[in-house]
Amino acid sequence: MSERPTNEQLTDAFLEHLRVERNLSPRTVTAYASDLGGFCDWAVREDVHVLDADHRRLRRYLAELDRAQYSKRTIARRLAALRSFYRYLVRMQFLTASPAAVLATPKTPQRLPGVTPESLIDQLLGLPDTETPLGARDLAILELLYASGLRVSELTGLDIGDVDLASATVRVMGKGARERIVPIHPLAAKRLQEYLTVGRTRLDKGAASGAYFLNRLGTRLTSGGVRRMLDRYLQQLEQCAHITPHDLRHSFATHLLEGGADLRTVQELLGHVALSTTQIYTHVSTRHLREVHKGAHPRA
């Protein structure tokens, strides 16, 4: 009879499945590894093998997180990781049923996405010095994020062949290896062209193998590099602001809806699989309409 795999072997196999078969991003796989690592640490303390953990033991694990004052959102995320892990164990025939399937997800307070005012975005876009290679690159990045709603990982993953300036479109490889074509407005296309001619040719040292956005070393720009770049410009604004690349994605979606775009179109542009994921932006847009109504109606 073959020896039963250890907890570590099972989680490593699951993470490899996420990387290879599901083609999830390194950042997502790292998040799964962190969440499952916390569960396995608990299992070691409790002397429980993951294949022996029934729904009662899993509930005790979640209760321990609650007593340790983890947020409802963190507990819900860890439960989601457990569900995926145990579904994998069932598919691989280590188990006949998932003990995590019967557990209820903690209710989490709805967090509306941050929306950056258009005036602040205009100020931000006016900061890069386009006479320098990095300034031309930075303006192209900021314009593209706001023009397309790309995730920062999608932006840094772009290659030269993914951007068609003639048709003003960008081919994006999103979550789960789902490809989509995103149109961009002419100004964003112009900034991308200026970056190619002024910036990228001077940054390219032949080491990036076709990456669209390069760092000062000539290699592919990372998501962390984009965030640090954005933070540097935010420090130059007179108005104190905390804006992330994801906030620009939120602003893109919200401003489209406020401008009359329909929800299905925004869903396609953002690369959301489920319409329910996109519907959070309707709450933001409704809030804006309520504020306009309150300020404009004579009896409001």
Q: Which residues are catalytic?
A: 151, 175, 246, 249, 272, 281
Contact 143, 125 (CB under 8 A): yes
**H helices present in the chain, as ranges:** 7-20, 26-46, 55-67, 72-91, 118-125, 133-148, 152-156, 186-194, 201-203, 223-234, 245-258, 263-270, 275-278, 280-296
Query: For helices 280-296 and 263-270, what crossing angle results, to 10°?
Result: 130
Contact 92, 75 (CB under 8 A): no
* DSSP annotation of 206: S
Residue-wise DSSP of 99-122: TTTTPPPPP----PPP---HHHHH
